[in-house]
Copies of this chain bind each other. A is one copy, B any other.
Amino acid sequence: MKKVKRSSRLVEMTQYLLQRPHVLIPLTTFAERYNSAKSSISEDLTIIKEVFQDEGLGELQTLAGAAGGVKYIPKSPKAASLDMMGRICAQLQEPERILPGGYLYMSDLLGQPSIVDEIGKMFASAFAGVELDCVMTVETKGIPIAYATAGYLNLPVVIVRRDNKVTEGSAVSINYVSGSTKRIQTMSLARRALKEESNVLIIDDFMKAGGTIAGMVDLLREFKATVKGVGVFVESDEDVTDHLVEEYVSLAVLTGVDTRNRHIIVRPGNYFEGVEKEQ
């Protein structure tokens, strides 16, 4: 095999690393792939590391020794994320988004893969240091965010269904009370969808009182799983006196919906507490 030039190697390694977040890649993999000395590969990685850092793409962690290698940890700098979230909040405040029941129309924003990708990267940054086995969400609107997050964390996704149509073999169903509407609802998960004793990150698009997420926590108990984190895109503190979920990361907070005057206030969530904007 012919030797690969540094310039081509840099392009190749960049895409290779970007496609494999949170995967430890031994230097020998690259050395063999490009028929190059490990010392050259190390120099390449130094260049890539610097650019990734400067561009806010994340960290390249290098581990020395026989079991060593390099690992790409996607991380968005919080100040840059806050700028991005500020722009999203401004869009969420458009009065025509107000829906009956104090909900917000967000399907247009969550229908844009590039925005979903940014949101996923923020959650992946927030939970990068947590030992996890999978990301869980409940259908429907949280699904794209859960996948974007899981992609950056290199984890599988488990989707809880909102009915108990058991089409996937034996399933566990639970009833839960929606915190805001006080109605009894059902959610279920196939037995084979989740290994027992898994470490789980729960992701959802919207949280009011937290009934749905509390339901997922109950469901996970049936699988002897541990909830290692909860991330919600938008939380609403509108008419909420009692949160059913105590610890969570939110990217935005809906603080006021004035249906009559068609006025909404959305500000960045608790993830950004104490963070200053870039400019």
Contact = CB atoms under 8 A, between A and B. Distances in A.
Interface in A1-31: 6-8, 10-12, 14-15, 18
Contacts of A55: 12, 15
Interface residues of A, number: 51
A25 to B, nearest CB: 15
Contact of A11 (B47, B112, B193): B47
A50 B12 CA distance: 10
A48 interface: yes
A161 interface: yes
- Copies of this chain, tallied across the complex: 2
B8 A156 contact: no
Interface string A29-40: 000000000000
Contact of A140 (B101, B103, B155, B159): B159
A168 to B, nearest CB: 6
Contact of A105 (B108, B112, B169): B169
Interface string A200-214: 000000000000000
A151 B120 CA distance: 13
B193 A108 contact: yes
Contacts of A150: 113
A159 B51 contact: no
A167 B100 contact: yes
Interface in A131-173: 134, 139-140, 143-144, 147-148, 150-151, 154-159, 161, 167-169
A99 interface: yes
A190 interface: yes
Contacts of A51: 8, 11-12, 15
Given A140-B143, A156-B112, A107 B11 contact: no
A68 interface: no
A139 B51 CA distance: 39
A192 B18 CA distance: 35
A193 B158 CA distance: 26
A54 B40 CA distance: 21
Contact of A107 (B7, B47, B52, B190): B190
A167 B10 CA distance: 49
B7 A47 contact: yes
B14 A151 contact: no
24 contacts: A7-B7, A7-B10, A11-B14, A12-B51, A14-B14, A14-B15, A15-B18, A15-B51, A15-B52, A15-B57, A100-B167, A103-B167, A105-B169, A105-B190, A105-B192, A107-B190, A111-B134, A111-B193, A113-B154, A139-B139, A139-B140, A140-B140, A144-B157, A147-B147
